Chains A and B, each alone.
Chain A
Amino acid sequence: GAVVSQHPSRVICKSGTSVKIECRSLDFQATTMFWYRQFPKQSLMLMATSNEGSKATYEQGVEKDKFLINHASLTLSTLTVTSAHPEDSSFYICSARDPPRTSGRSYEQYFGPGTRLTVT
């Protein structure tokens, strides 16, 4: 299956600083990547959809000025948490969509291993 990497796996930062998380599709080109946030014992919450070469589409309630997304190439998307605060501490997961091999089929999403962000 398709492989997605994410870096770093864990990061601890001080309140007010910015943190960048990288998401890479290793063996396929991903025109679309997704950024999720997950709280303990809860399901995935979609934050934004990142399309290569265009602006990201943010879900309702997600501050686009706080969570900056850049999808500069077909294999790399980045999420920058700006001026991080303790309430931003969470598990952030990216996914990349593998184009369907059969016309009309759905796109399968492959997930990175996640990044645990702790803001102190």
Chain B
Amino acid sequence: EDQVTQSPEALRLQEGESSSLNCSYTVSGLRGLFWYRQDPGKGPEFLFTLYSAGEEKEKERLKATLTKKESFLHITAPKPEDSATYLCAVQAWNAGNNRKLIWGLGTSLAVNP
């Protein structure tokens, strides 16, 4: 069964304290892995798409990497405004024409000043 697991469930960092969030997945064929950021009471904001193992993408203090089994979202020198829930989702080749996403439960990140 296709599955996405995110860890940790919650993470509290001090401002400037770098860390990584994990998204492990088991799918029959990966078509794409997506990272989103969600603030309370708002819709998810698209961050990155990764397609193949070894691929990396960066945006400001965030860097996403992908292996054949998992993806990491590295946060370098985080600031309080990086506090949010980070969601990971994958799209599998066998998802049919609608290609729906399989979602993880998210990591709730809190960055203290």
Chain A residues within 8 Å of B, Cβ to Cβ: 1, 4, 6, 32, 34, 42-44, 46, 49, 51, 57, 91, 93, 95, 97, 105-114, 116
Contacts and interface: CB of A to CB of B under 8 A. Distances in A.
A51 B100 CA distance: 12
Contacts, number: 58
Interface of A is mostly: strand
A114 B99 contact: no
- Listed from nearest, the 3 A-B pairs whose CB atoms lie closest are A106-B32, A111-B43, A49-B98
A51 B91 CA distance: 18
Contacts of B43: 4, 6, 93, 95, 111-114
Interface of B: 31-32, 34, 36, 41-46, 49, 51, 87, 91, 98-101, 103-106
Nearest to A116: B41
Contacts of B32: 105-106, 108
A44 B51 contact: no
Contact of A114 (B36, B41, B46): B41
B46 A110 contact: yes
A109 B42 contact: no
B46 A43 contact: no
A43 B87 contact: yes
A109 B103 contact: no
Given A32-B98, A95-B44, 4 more contacts: A106-B31, A106-B32, A106-B51, A111-B43
Nearest to A6: B43
Contacts of A43: 87, 103-106
Contacts of A57: 98
A117 to B, nearest CB: 13
6 contacts: A32-B98, A44-B87, A49-B100, A105-B51, A109-B101, A113-B43
Given A106-B91, A108-B34, A113 B42 contact: yes
